[in-house]
Chain A
Amino acid sequence: MVNKRSSPWLPLFQERCVALVVWLAVGLVTTLFLWLVSEIVLQGIGVVSWEFILSAPQNAGRDGGIGPMLVATALIVGVCLGVSVPLGLGTAIVLAEYTNENRRLSQWVRRSLDVLAGVPSIVFGLFGHAFFCLFLGLGFSLLSGGMTLACMVLPLLIRSTEESLRAIPREYRLSAAALGLSRWTTVTRLLIPLALPGFAAGLILGVGRAMAETAALLFTSGYVDRFPTSLLDSGRALSVHIWDLAMNVPGGNSHAYASALVLVGLLFAINLTSSFIADQWKKHALT
């Protein structure tokens, strides 16, 4: 009966230690996040204004604003989504609904997607440069950049959509089949609305990754900081602009912080609106 382990204060002590470690970890992560954001906000907020958001940069970005970068970023992300959403949704549906999970083909597709998801962005940049810019002759253009980003985003999008399709109970598919519903109706009317939250999650991750991407865009959409006039124009994405100001332009720091603040704000806004839209759509489609 007299056992060291059974002494009353030891378990309590252990409990406290574990709690302390856990809370320390939480505190550390939160502090890091807050520090990062407050640094950006404090250093950038003085520069940000409508003028800054809308006007073109001057003096290599030390003065002026980020208007062209915002336009270029929007176009690049637009191209990226235009390519990756239909491709991603289609692939995920084929993988989840039309192939057997254990078939060799789908296993290979899945494995290569997982590898692709972990490939560094600079490799995508080199590939995009070689394929879109040179081989397809699109040159340094928003189109090349957007499509390169689409290649990067696709694995994330496909896997998360596929997982959420697979998570849908088999009963729905069986009862749909028992009613003589075609595969197409089952997929479009039942499965896609049900898989929407997963799709939205993949999309948010993807857009976040695309908007924050620098390395892949340096090689594909280029660097030019005027307002783009077509998709075949070269253009400078916001993240590239930040990198340029921070690394190449002495005295560009305050504008780099301001641009970063705008970028973080945009990502935040996109996160909120996309989850809101997904909620609404789901409610609308499923009630």
Chain B
Amino acid sequence: MKVGLVQEEGRTWSSYTTSSLPSDTRDAHICAAQLNVWYGDKLALHDVTLAVDRGTIAAVVGPSGCGKTSFLMCINRLTDMIPRCRVSGALHLDHLNLMSPTIDVLALRRRVGMVFQKPNPFPLSVWDNLALPLKEHGVRKRDELRQRIETVLREVGLWNDVKDRLGHSALALSGGQQQRVCLARALVLSPEVLLLDEPCSSLDPLSSGMIEDLIVSLRGRLTIVIVTHHLAQARRIADSVAVFWAQAGAGWLVESGPTQQIFDSPQHPITAAYIQGHRG
């Protein structure tokens, strides 16, 4: 079944794709069906059908090069930024068709925040790191800027560390603090979805734990998709887990389901071997 690029914004996907989707995905917040990603001629992600419920934390696990990041980048259309990248299949955020060539990508990215693997605050002050996206999306009053920035910095537990040096470069902070600035930067726009691409992998255990606690505290408020290499972390924080695997260079979805089910009674032998540490 071909789900075309012609589908219009605002129409539900169900009338097009119900037949190919599991029935319990219909009130999902993010819903992918037969999603493929190509880089040039190379297939990077093959036929992924996956749904993430609103307000839950979904972990995407798997070895390197199995398309986890590609999957994330489809959800905020960052794939547009990659030359010769092509996406096919169906992907919806609520009723918004993310495959439509006519959607307002900037508005979408305001609804869907993202944090990357390496802490990458802009080489600006802490204040400007957070004010830049706010100003871009129409918040201009200094009072409101100040209030929103303070709120979000308190939320990520950085306010007391940086309140006296908001004007200093964010690059002067430690790695863990920088990653929290990045998290704050993504949260300051009040997104409804947060994409996390191995947010803890370049941090020390202490900072990593802080970020993890933060993610857990967001449960219910935001839908979170987190790519991680730590199976233990996925098990601790995620409501559902999707196991990706690479086959002939292309990533595919081996199995997905509630966290407990994936860890306690995996259906697929690859999942079982991966969970037990025999593979990956």
Which residues of chain A are near B46, meaning CB under 8 Å? none
Stretch at the interface among A166-174, A201-209, A259-267: A166-174
Q: CA–CA, A287 to B125, complex, Å?
A: 5
Which residues of chain A are near B120, meaning CB under 8 Å? 169, 171-172, 175
Which residues of chain A are near B108, meaning CB under 8 Å? 180
Q: CA–CA, A185 to B134, complex, Å?
A: 12
Question: Do the beta carbons of A172 and B83 come within 8 Å of each other?
Answer: no
Which residues of chain B are near A100, meaning CB under 8 Å? 83
- Chain A residues within 8 Å of B, Cβ to Cβ: 100, 169, 171-182, 185, 189-190, 193-194, 286-287
Find B132's partner among A185, A286, A287 (CB 8 Å cutoff): A185
The reply on B78 being an interface residue by CB < 8 A is yes
Q: Give the bracket for the number of chain B residues in contact with chain A.
A: 20 to 34
Which residues of chain B are near A177, meaning CB under 8 Å? 78, 80-81, 109
Shortest Cβ gap from A166 to chain B (Å): 14
The reply on B167 being an interface residue by CB < 8 A is yes
Q: CA–CA, A176 to B106, complex, Å?
A: 11
Which residues of chain B are near A286, meaning CB under 8 Å? 123-124, 169
Which residues of chain A are near B186, meaning CB under 8 Å? 178-179
Q: Kindly report which residue of chain B lies nearest to residue A175, judged by CB atoms.
A: B120
Question: Do the beta carbons of A172 and B122 come within 8 Å of each other?
Answer: yes
- Beyond A174-B81, A177-B81, A185-B136, whether A287 also contacts B124 by CB under 8 A is yes
- Give me 8 other A-B pairs in contact (C-beta within 8 A), A174-B78, A177-B81, A182-B136 excluded: A175-B182, A178-B116, A179-B136, A179-B186, A180-B107, A180-B137, A190-B124, A287-B124
Which residues of chain A are near B81, meaning CB under 8 Å? 173-174, 177
Q: CA–CA, A189 to B78, complex, Å?
A: 20
Find A178's partner among B114, B118, B132 (CB 8 Å cutoff): B114
The reply on B113 being an interface residue by CB < 8 A is yes
Question: Which of B105, B122, B125, B167 neighbours the largest number of chain A CB atoms within 10 Å of its CB?
Answer: B122
Question: Do the beta carbons of A180 and B116 come within 8 Å of each other?
Answer: no
Question: Do the beta carbons of A179 and B109 come within 8 Å of each other?
Answer: yes
A-B contacts counted at CB < 8 A amount to 71
Shortest Cβ gap from A260 to chain B (Å): 42
Q: CA–CA, A174 to B83, complex, Å?
A: 13
22 pairs of residues in contact across A and B, judged by CB atoms under 8 Å: A172-B123, A173-B81, A175-B114, A175-B116, A177-B80, A178-B113, A178-B186, A179-B113, A179-B132, A179-B186, A180-B105, A180-B107, A180-B108, A180-B110, A180-B133, A180-B136, A181-B132, A181-B136, A185-B136, A190-B124, A286-B123, A286-B169
Shortest Cβ gap from A138 to chain B (Å): 43
- Beyond A177-B81, A287-B167, A287-B169, whether A182 also contacts B106 by CB under 8 A is yes
Which residues of chain A are near B169, meaning CB under 8 Å? 286-287
Q: Kindly report which residue of chain A lies nearest to residue B80, judged by CB atoms.
A: A177
Which residues of chain A are near B168, meaning CB under 8 Å? 287
Q: CA–CA, A194 to B124, complex, Å?
A: 10
Question: Do the beta carbons of B124 and A180 come within 8 Å of each other?
Answer: no
Shortest Cβ gap from B129 to chain A (Å): 10
Question: Which of A175, A176, A190 neighbours the largest number of chain B CB atoms within 10 Å of its CB?
Answer: A175
The reply on B76 being an interface residue by CB < 8 A is yes
Q: CA–CA, A175 to B186, complex, Å?
A: 9
The reply on B185 being an interface residue by CB < 8 A is yes
The reply on B189 being an interface residue by CB < 8 A is yes
Which residues of chain A are near B110, meaning CB under 8 Å? 179-180
Find A189's partner among B109, B132, B167, B182 (CB 8 Å cutoff): B132
Question: Do the beta carbons of A180 and B189 come within 8 Å of each other?
Answer: yes
Question: Nearest 4 A-B pairs (CB), nearest first?
Answer: A180-B109, A178-B114, A179-B133, A180-B106
Which residues of chain B are near A287, meaning CB under 8 Å? 124-125, 167-169
Which residues of chain B are near A169, meaning CB under 8 Å? 120
Q: CA–CA, A23 to B113, complex, Å?
A: 57
Q: Kindly report which residue of chain A lies nearest to residue B121, judged by CB atoms.
A: A175
Q: CA–CA, A51 to B125, complex, Å?
A: 49
Shortest Cβ gap from A278 to chain B (Å): 15
Over the window 132-154 of chain B, the binary record of Cβ atoms lying under 8 Å from chain A Cβ atoms (1 yes, 0 no) is 11001100000000000000000
Shortest Cβ gap from B240 to chain A (Å): 23
Question: Do the beta carbons of B122 and A190 come within 8 Å of each other?
Answer: yes
Shortest Cβ gap from B261 to chain A (Å): 32
Which residues of chain B are near A173, meaning CB under 8 Å? 81
